[in-house]
Amino acid sequence: MRFVCVTPNAAVDRILHLNQPRAPHGLNRVARVIESAGGKGMNVARVLKALGAEVTVAGFLAGLNAGRFKALLERDGLDGPFVQVAGETRECQILVDGTGQPMEINDPGPWADASDWERLAAELPEGRLVVSGSLPRGLSPEEFKSFLTDVAERRGEEPIVDTSGPFLVAAVAAGAALVKPNEHEIGLLSAGVADPVEAAKEVNARTGVPVLLTLGAAGAAYVGVESAFVPAPAIDAVNPVASGDCLLAAFLWASAEAWPPAEALRLGVAAGAANARHGGGGRLSREQVFEQLRQVAPAGALG
């Protein structure tokens, strides 16, 4: 199966490794820099490719950073249609000092209105559509819902969506094939339900949309026709940024290979943990994912 990974708000990601704890109000000297073509959809695409899937990437680019992004994309062996829009492709700075959660500083990104999204839709090749990450400025949640329903009608299947805020709400309203909120985002979809897993159950029961719920260091849950929970293994995390994207990618790859949902979830949790162990950014090998899988507990039923 070919996957088409759309990153609406693509970025030049820069992971900045410090040799000392970060100084919040002082000078921070960087020891090592890792640059990559970034955005959540790019992380998903890299892991899918590492696992053996055929992958095409797509999205919006703008300004001087478009050239940097394309060069980094070529380095990763990825390609696909990108629509040129107004503004500037964002940069995302990720400061890692080994003392805890990295600091992230993200530019706002370019401007892409409904006509730009229509141009993108016209250029998307065949394949399983995955829309991941924040959206550039210029589109309303209602227009995003229309985009999702229109591409579903054209392609004969609903897209998979991983986004946040009102655009996540719009994706559920559009009947997405799958959404991937985290333990904080799920509350937007099920007001008044405090427990994230119970909220995911409520969303699925009310809308029929399957939910892949990431729970940080606690693990992840899947709620659909079948449901399961997998705890995260104990690891020494270096940089957890993009672990949720890696989890989604591995889950989708395993599902396309006809793995049962519970086992696909285990592989997803393994990929997320391996990403955090090996430096973040979605730069994983198949061997690293399957090595980590040996440390992941069997899936259990949801309470």
Q: How far is residue 282's CA from residue 247's CA, in Å, rounded to a whole number?
A: 10
Q: Residue 83 — left, alpha, or beta (φ > 0 → left; ψ -120 to 50 → alpha)?
A: beta
Nearest to 214 by CA among 148, 273, 138, 153: 273
Residue type, 197: V
Q: How far is residue 151's CA from residue 123's CA, in Å, rounded to a whole number?
A: 11
What residues contact 72, with CB distance under 8 A and at least 6 apart?
Answer: 12, 35, 36, 37
Q: Residue 245 catalytic?
A: yes
Strand partners, 6: 58, 131
Q: Is 82 helix (H, G, I), strand (E, B) or coil?
A: strand
Q: Is 160 helix (H, G, I), strand (E, B) or coil?
A: strand
DSSP state at residue 163: -
In the set 13, 116, 162, 245, the catalytic residue is 245
Q: Which residues form the catalytic set?
A: 245
